[in-house]
Amino acid sequence: MVDFWQIIQNAGVELISPTTAAYALAALGLAIHFGFTGLVNFGQAGFMAIGAYGYGISTLTFHFPVWGAVLVGIGASIVFALILGVPTLRLRADYLSIVTIAAAEILRLIFTTNTLEAVTGSADGLSGYKGGFADLNPIPDGTYGFGPWTMNAYDLWLRIVAWTIVIIACLLAWQLMRSPWGRVVKGIREDEDAVRALGKNVYFYKMQSLILGGVFGTIAGMIFILPRAIVPANYATTLTFFIYTILLLGGAATILGPVVGSIIFWVLLSAVSGFVARAQAAGWFDLIGMSSVQAGQTRFILVGIVLMLLVIFRPQGIFGNKKELAFVK
Amino acid sequence: MEVTGLIDRRWTRPLVALFAILIVALTLGGGLSASADSINDDSDWQIKGNVKNDGEPLGGVLISVSGNGFTGEVKTGDDGKWSVGVPEGGKYTITLDESTLPKGVIVTDKDGVVIPPTREVEFGATKTALSNYFLGVGVRETTSFFDQFIQRIFTGLSFGLLLALAAVGLSLIFGTTGLNNFAHAEMVTFGALATLTFAVDFAWPLWAALIVAIVLSGAFGFVLDAGLWRPLRRKGVGLIPMMIVSIGLSLALRYLYQYLYGGSTRQLPGADGADLKFGPISLSPLDLLSMGISILAVIGVAFFLLRTRLGKATRAVSDNVSLAAASGIDVDRVIRIVWVIGGALAGLSGILFAFYRPGVSWDMGFQILLLIFAAVTLGGLGTAFGAVVGSIVVGLFIEISTLWIPSDMKYVGALVILILVLLVRPQGILGRKERIG
Amino acid sequence: MSSDVKPTKGSPVKSVDMHVGEIVPGVPKKDPIIVADHVTRTFGGLTAVDVDHVEIPRNAITALIGPNGAGKTTFFNLLTGFDKPDTGKWTFMGKSLAGIPSFRVARLGQVRTFQLTKALSLLTVLDNMKLGAKGQKGENMFVALLPWLWRKQEEEIEAKAMELLARFKLDTKAEDYAASLSGGQRKLLEMARALMSDPTLVMLDEPMAGVNPALTQSLLDHILDLKTQGMTVLFVEHDMQMVRHIADWVIVMAEGKIVAEGPPDAVMSNPAVIDAYLGSHHDQDLGEDPDQEKENVNAIKELLDADDKS
């Protein structure tokens, strides 16, 4: 029989998991780009990869302390944003999308190549960088929490840090978007020539937005690797598309949308794939001849379909104001 | 459930083992992960072999294994043995690094005939694959730089031309509808999968399978337009939302392919023809046929666009939709035909790509999607002939650049070129100079 | 949409006698605000603008007229930094503007509107207005995070915006999205938004295009108002009635060149202008779009037909 309680418990884990927090933060960065400024960034995976490798390489190769590694990652992502932005932010929106998706792939290929294996670990990636972060943990060893949220001191520490960062980022974004700065970037989303005619340096604001959302993505990339290892295959274009799904689920031009979108995405994904896997094992899908491997693949098919349906039928997301649609033009 | 994010669960265990080895290697100061004679011992799938120099085991020889997204390196032990655990079955490429051999010794076969140090192994019925190396004294004939260069130009041209087929379709669709169609990759894969189904699973003759596959690819384009894109256009969905819909469609289709066809790479019949020698260039008849077909298809499209009424209507729609509609052109019909042509071209491109790689796999189109986009952007967004030029530039650049950069970085070069060209000439190579900002 | 509107309320006296010497294209002005020399712009072999010399008088309303494709909007774009000329230079209040990006041009006090209205649809009308204000501290990303540094300025801007909105009779719409406004209201909003920056020169690109006749009167009054308040206005327009009523000076462009200029009545009765350029459309609306469209459509039809025969 299908153990529904177990499925619910597993889904519950995702509610506060650091992965959910990382995706929420990356989606918030994308909300700043896409939802508020109208920048079609398809390279958020690249920003996350920079966070992951920036942190990992500074720690493993250069033995930087945690704060140093974090700064290296953020610095690298600012440079990356500048490289992306300088040639494209003056051009039509499609160009940014193509250049960002290409740049993210370039990064992934560079991190994957055998040539740089000594530093990047090639296709195997990196691990063993978590010591510094674990050493900062003030929580004594032991078991904490209850039910599906039972965890050790490291996991608790990681969740506290991850979600604190998400909350701070939300507050920052919220304050920015209700300020005159936010008014300018939202104006740029609507019509950048009009904003230019009002004496605003549009290029400069777009660059600021690209950097800010990119830094959010980079920090998300660091949170993402703390419960796992760095594997270059994780930073493929699909990651960016998942973040778009999350963003559109919650609402592109909202602050809380990305967070709630990420929670719903991961809880649902876990529940659905848990259900399909267990139902398959229980023989529910024997009629259509589904194997266990196929059961694992259904979730990706579902994500694709959900993304399409969202854009077509509820483009403003769950939290979005029907009227304030970032992309309905 | 342990949180694994996007990492495939099967990967977790071997990876942990790998990292353990990596850390040991790093802390020993070696910085190389290849100091062991075996890696990923606990993986179910193992590739094993030994290296013998004139019958004697040879240690410290570097062997690298790559394939199915996996790469790994080992050094043979003193007994000459090595083993590499890989995540899944299928085909892998094995290379013996001859620079780690004693001087004057190279890879030979059992009889001492010099053979290349790179070979492929495929898992058969068991989860263990064997690949033994015999060494002997000999001299490897190296191709001169110039000969290699010429060879690369031809390979690049062949690749560029097959890219062009997909790129022209993408460009026509972009020109007439404004859609950046990310699902074009899956239209490419569709052609290859359809051929595989008919030629291998149904065992039809190849030519019949090819024709059916191309017709089905065109029909696939028609279905996509009639079932999805036309209703969306009617609904007045904006271009960026449409682009995101195409991303969703791409994800759904790609994993549906994986669901239906599995994750392995399968070969089309006739993929292994003998090579013909033309001076320094060795080409298989298939390469030549592929280039010929591509050129014919491109000429066909050019004829269609320049010489037929429908082609002119297509250009008029690309130029200005409302104007074309006002002059009595049935815009919906033009777009429908563009989707059919785009689908058929993408399918053909996928078939040729399956012979070029070689092999058919569920994500083969997605692997070249960015190159197709790069080609279209390089040539100038929305110009069909620009897409051809852009594709050939991308194909040539990718192949020729491997003379200097590692082959696993060859796509990097093409994408860097894309960004650089946009810096200097945002309208692309053949694009009209107009206000793009 | 030929309109019979006339300025209603105490409209300012028409400025006269602004030029020096004989009236010829490029005549010097006594007090020019813009002086342009040798400005050319080509698009792939086609010369869109080729202005040898032109001066725009200060504190007056100047109309820029001419048939479609005459280069009026391109010239506008060049003057405001939205396009780059192939050659030429021009000054605004004695300061050279060549090569200056559009946003700087705006900051210098030369603000424009667009032919196709650019209301920022998903911002409220009030936010549209506030965006127009210059020198906002809170537009700096770091200052934006510290609201106490900009809140007072924000209140002042809001008060000013509400005052302007009241003048343009949009105050009841302040909290609505700009997307909900009618075409004419958007034109008004765009003009009001431009005024938020206290410009010296207001450049209006076809302010009457697509405006409901009921609103044209009020738009006209607003334009005259600008002059009363000491601003200079340069506008592109097709409606000859309107040009005649409110313009102090008219500049005629055709095929990229300035072909005539002078006080409205003189220019309109200039036989050269009527014959060579206004033709039979004299006194009619010169909104040539339908004609032009028809021409293009015919061109495509011919292309297709020729093809059929071959």
Chain A contact present for C127, CB below 8 A: yes
Mean pLDDT of chain C: 82
Task: List the helix and strand counts (H, then E) for chain A.
Answer: 14, 2
8 Å CB contact between C96 and C39: no
- Looking at residue B369, its pLDDT comes to 92
A303 sits in which H/E element: helix A292-313
Q: Cβ separation of C303 and B324 shorter than 8 Å?
A: no
**Chain B residues contacting C, CB < 8 Å?**
308-309, 312-313, 316, 320, 323-324, 326-329, 432-435
- Looking at residue A115, its pLDDT comes to 83
Q: What is the CA radius of gyration of chain C?
A: 21
Considering chain C, tell me which residue range(s) the CATH 3.40.50.300 domain(s) occupy. Answer: 32-119+182-284
CA angle C118, A247, A160 (to 5 degrees): 130
* Among the listed residues B436, B361, B353, B407, the one whose alpha carbon sits nearest the alpha carbon of residue B159: B353
Which residue is associated with the tokens 């040639």?
Answer: A87
CA angle B18, B22, B26 (to 5 degrees): 175
Report the 10 Å Cβ neighbour count for A5.
8
Q: Tell whether omega for the bond before B358 is within 30 degrees of 0, i.e. cis.
A: yes
8 Å CB contact between B321 and B314: no
Query: Is A292 a domain residue?
Result: no
- 3-class state of residue B92 by DSSP: strand
8 Å CB contact between B341 and B301: yes
CA distances from C175 to A275, C158, C233 (A): 47, 12, 29
**Structure tokens of C31?**
């007090």
Q: Cβ separation of A181 and C138 shorter than 8 Å?
A: yes
* Among the listed residues C113, C105, C53, the one whose alpha carbon sits nearest the alpha carbon of residue C79: C105
Q: Counting one residue from A and one from B, how many pairs have CB atoms under 8 Å apart?
A: 200
CA angle B242, B243, B244 (to 5 degrees): 90
Q: Which of B312, B326, B435 sits opposite C293 (nearest CB)?
A: B326
- Of the given ranges (A5-9, A80-84, B52-56), which has the lowest mean pLDDT? B52-56
- CA-based end-to-end distance of chain C: 43
Residues from chain C that touch A323, judged by Cβ atoms under 8 A, are: 122, 177, 179
- 3-class state of residue C36 by DSSP: strand
8 Å CB contact between A82 and A207: yes
8 Å CB contact between B23 and A59: no
Q: Cβ separation of B422 and A91 shorter than 8 Å?
A: yes
The CATH H-level superfamily of C32-119+182-284 is P-loop containing nucleotide triphosphate hydrolases (3.40.50.300)
Most B CBs within 10 A among C300, C302, C303, C308, hence the mutation to make, goes to: C300
Average pLDDT over residues C250-272: 84
Q: Counting one residue from B and one from C, how many pairs have CB atoms under 8 Å apart?
A: 32
User: Phi/psi at A218 (nearest 5 deg)?
Assistant: -65, -45
B107: Cβ–Cβ under 8 A, 6 or more apart, which residues?
A: B96, B98, B114, B115, B116, B117, B133, B134, B135
Question: Is the four-CA dihedral A196, C139, A191, C231 of positive or negative sign?
Answer: negative
- In DSSP terms, which residues pair with C29 in a beta bridge? C19
- 3-class state of residue A158 by DSSP: helix
- Half-sphere exposure for A242 (CA within 13 Å, toward CB): 26
Chain B contact present for A201, CB below 8 A: no
Angle between helical axes of A256-281 and A237-250 (0-180°, round to 10): 110
Most A CBs within 10 A among C121, C125, C164, hence the mutation to make, goes to: C121
Residues from chain A that touch B418, judged by Cβ atoms under 8 A, are: 98-99, 102
Q: Cβ separation of C193 and A180 shorter than 8 Å?
A: no
Chain B contact present for A195, CB below 8 A: no
Chain A contact present for C255, CB below 8 A: no
Percent of chain C with pLDDT over 90: 37
Chain B contact present for A105, CB below 8 A: yes
* Among the listed residues A132, A136, A158, A135, the one whose alpha carbon sits nearest the alpha carbon of residue A145: A158
Q: What is the pLDDT of residues B293-322, one digit of tens each?
A: 999 999 999 999 999 998 989 988 888 888
- Which chains border B (3 or more CB–CB pairs < 8 Å)? A, C
**Structure tokens of B417?**
């070129």
C61-65 and C110-112 strand pairing: unpaired
CA distances from B309 to A291, B305, B314, C294, C300 (A): 51, 8, 9, 20, 11
C249-254 and C61-65 strand pairing: parallel
d(CA A307, CA A315): 10
Chain B contact present for A280, CB below 8 A: no
Could you tell me if the ipTM is greater than 0.85?
yes
Query: Is A202 a domain residue?
Result: yes
Query: Is A250 a domain residue?
Result: no
* Among the listed residues B249, B247, C186, B382, the one whose alpha carbon sits nearest the alpha carbon of residue A34: B247
Q: Cβ separation of B312 and C301 shorter than 8 Å?
A: no
Domains along the sequence of chain B with CATH:
9-137 (2.60.40.10), 145-424 (1.10.3470)
d(CA B218, CA B297): 14
8 Å CB contact between A102 and B423: no
C251 sits in which H/E element: strand C249-254
Residue of B nearest to C305 (CA): B309
Report the 10 Å Cβ neighbour count for C47.
14
Angle between helical axes of B331-356 and B285-307 (0-180°, round to 10): 170
Q: Cβ separation of B249 and A98 shorter than 8 Å?
A: no
- Looking at residue A147, its pLDDT comes to 83
- Looking at residue B80, its pLDDT comes to 83
B241 sits in which H/E element: helix B239-261
Q: Domain span at residue A166?
A: 17-236
The secondary structure of residue A33, as a DSSP letter, is I
8 Å CB contact between B109 and B115: yes
CA distances from A119 to A30, A62, C25 (A): 29, 10, 70
Q: What is the pLDDT of residues C213-251, one digit of tens each?
A: 778 888 888 889 899 999 999 999 877 777 888 899 999
Report the 10 Å Cβ neighbour count for C176.
15
User: Phi/psi at B179 (nearest 5 deg)?
Assistant: -85, 130
Q: How confident is the model at residue C281 (pLDDT cuts 50, 70, 90)?
A: very low
* Among the listed residues A125, A120, A78, A100, the one whose alpha carbon sits nearest the alpha carbon of residue A219: A78
Q: Which of B3, B32, B426 sits opposite A227 (nearest CB)?
A: B3
* Among the listed residues A11, A264, A27, the one whose alpha carbon sits nearest the alpha carbon of residue A166: A27
Question: pLDDT (tens digit, 0 to 9) for every residue of chain B, 437 residues total?
Answer: 333 333 344 444 444 444 444 444 443 333 333 446 778 777 888 888 888 887 788 888 888 888 877 888 888 888 888 888 888 877 888 888 877 887 777 788 777 777 778 888 888 777 888 888 888 777 665 667 788 888 888 889 999 999 999 999 999 999 899 898 999 999 999 999 999 999 999 999 999 999 999 999 999 999 999 999 999 999 888 888 898 899 999 999 999 999 999 888 898 887 666 667 776 677 777 888 889 999 999 999 999 999 999 898 998 888 888 888 888 889 999 999 999 999 999 999 999 999 988 889 999 999 899 999 989 888 877 678 889 999 999 999 998 888 888 878 888 888 888 888 877 777 766 665 543 32
The whole-angstrom distance between B305's CA and the closest CA on chain C is 12
Q: Cβ separation of B422 and A327 shorter than 8 Å?
A: no
- Looking at residue A176, its pLDDT comes to 96
Q: Where are the alpha helices (DSSP H) in C101-148?
A: 102-107, 125-131, 141-144
d(CA B217, CA B166): 12
- In DSSP terms, which residues pair with C261 in a beta bridge? C251
Q: Cβ separation of A124 and B437 shorter than 8 Å?
A: no
Q: What is the pLDDT of residues C76-131, one digit of tens each?
A: 899 999 888 989 889 998 889 888 899 999 999 999 998 888 888 889 999 999 99
8 Å CB contact between B228 and B173: no
The whole-angstrom distance between B387's CA and the closest CA on chain C is 21
* Among the listed residues B259, B250, B248, the one whose alpha carbon sits nearest the alpha carbon of residue B189: B250
Report the 10 Å Cβ neighbour count for B158.
22
**Where would I find the beta strands (DSSP E) of A43-127?**
none
- Looking at residue B22, its pLDDT comes to 42
- Of the given ranges (A163-172, A241-250, B267-276, C295-304), which has the lowest mean pLDDT? C295-304
Q: Which of C296, C297, C303 sits opposite B312 (nearest CB)?
A: C303
Q: What is the pLDDT of residues A192-248, one digit of tens each?
A: 999 999 999 999 999 999 999 999 999 999 999 999 999 999 999 999 999 999 998
- Looking at residue B280, its pLDDT comes to 67
Which residue is associated with the tokens 């462009």?
Answer: C253
* Among the listed residues B189, B219, B176, the one whose alpha carbon sits nearest the alpha carbon of residue B349: B189
Residues from chain A that touch C139, judged by Cβ atoms under 8 A, are: 180-181, 183-184, 200
Q: Cβ separation of B323 and C293 shorter than 8 Å?
A: yes
B250: Cβ–Cβ under 8 A, 6 or more apart, which residues?
A: A304, B182, B183, B185, B186, B366, B369
d(CA A102, CA A84): 10
Q: Where are the alpha helices (DSSP H) in B273-360?
A: 285-307, 309-319, 321-326, 331-356
